[in-house]
Amino acid sequence: MKVVTSRENAIYKSALKLLQKKHRDRTGQYLLEGRKPLRDALDLGLVIEKVFVCNGENAEELEAVLPEHALIALEHGLFARLSDTEHSQGVIAVIRKDILDEEAFAEGCKGGNIAILDRLQDPGNVGTIIRTAEAAGFSGVIATDETADPYGPKAVRASSGALLRMPVLTGASAEEAIAFAKERGCALTVTDMDGEVSCFDLEEAGPSALVIGNEGRGASASFREEADITVHIPMAGRIESLNAAVAAGIVMYCLGGNIPSIRHHR
């Protein structure tokens, strides 16, 4: 196993750059932190370029499944600069993105519900919604071009491995996302504080494209104007709004996804 102790090391500097979106976009790579996500990536056969282990500790399991050149021990201070967590498990992988074009994304969705993230700025919300989408039986997620990068460290961590499995299309404009939904017969369902229907009164009527708008401004005019239905979440007390990821989760489960226990016991 190679040992790196200098911040000037070319391999380390290249990995450090992946904390920036422009380098993730340019290289098609991102950072994946944690042992379970790494095991999931290995099980899925995803391309793993490098794996950094803090001080080379507890690397025996990884040595058995990774090529020797892929495993690198980092001195603690260097590892800490690369890590996004306060209490790291001591493993960070450089992994190749599973980049989908629209055709591949459509095939991966297989006609189910999809979520559209409209200009969300908090990467934690982005990752949490991807995680919840998988749990609620959704088939895919579209992150529009003004949405925080799903492959950023905070979003990857919040997705809790779902990013590895859930088809995600990035970089689409609002108009492209709307066209995609309409062409595939999805009802464009837009979350709105003044929405016409309570999420608890939604009726199952084929696949939906659920639009979750910006944390402060809600869904953009493009989505509201093209909406087949606008949905609100009833709230008690003096609360005016919910966190975007929480709101998305509530409506996702109201829509039912592909989970029989949800569809049949509403």
CATH of domain 2-96: 3.30.1330.30
**What's the pLDDT score for residue 261?**
52
Answer positive or negative: Cα dihedral of 110, 170, 117, 219. negative
Q: Which token pair is 251?
A: 């409506």
Chain segment 193-211, per-residue pLDDT in tens: 999 999 999 987 789 999 9
Listing DSSP states for the chain in one string gives -EEE--TT-HHHHHHHGGGSHHHHHHHTEEEEESHHHHHHHHHTT--EEEEEEETTTT-HHHHTTS-GGGEEEE-HHHHHHH---SS--SEEEEEE-----HHHHHHHHTT--EEEE-S---HHHHHHHHHHHHHTT--EEEEETTSPPTTSHHHHHHHTTHHHHS-EEEEE-HHHHHHHHHHTT-EEEEE-TT-SEEGGG----S-EEEEE-BTTTBS-HHHHHH-SEEEE----TT-----HHHHHHHHHHHH-TT-HHHHS--
Residue 237 burial (C-beta neighbours within 10 Å; 0-12, 13-18, 19+): exposed
pLDDT of the chain, 266 residues: tens digit per residue: 889 999 999 999 999 999 999 999 999 999 999 999 999 999 999 999 999 999 988 888 888 889 888 999 999 999 999 998 888 889 999 999 988 999 999 998 888 999 999 999 999 999 999 999 999 999 999 999 999 999 999 999 999 999 999 999 999 999 999 999 999 999 999 999 999 999 999 987 789 999 999 999 999 999 999 999 999 999 999 888 899 999 999 999 999 755 555 544 44
**What's the pLDDT score for residue 241?**
86
**What's the pLDDT score for residue 60?**
86
**What's the pLDDT score for residue 87?**
83
**What's the pLDDT score for residue 258?**
57
Q: What is the mean pLDDT of the chain?
A: 92
Instruction: Report the CATH fold assignment for 102-263.
Output: Alpha/beta knot (3.40.1280)
Instruction: Give me the residue spans of the domains in the chain.
Output: 2-96, 102-263
Contact indicator for 93, 38 with CB cutoff of 8 Å: yes
Report how far residue 155's alpha carbon sits from residue 112's, in angstroms, rounded to the nearest whole number: 23
Q: Tally Cβ neighbours within 10 Å of residue 73.
A: 18
**Contacting residues for 90 by C-beta, under 8 A, at least 6 apart:** 53, 54, 55, 57, 58, 79
Hey, what amino acid is at 249?
A: G
According to DSSP, the β-strands at 168-172 and 140-144 are parallel
Q: How many residues are given for the chain?
A: 266
The candidate with the shortest Cα–Cα distance to 182, out of 202, 165, 206, 158, is: 206
Chain segment 114-125, per-residue pLDDT in tens: 999 999 999 999
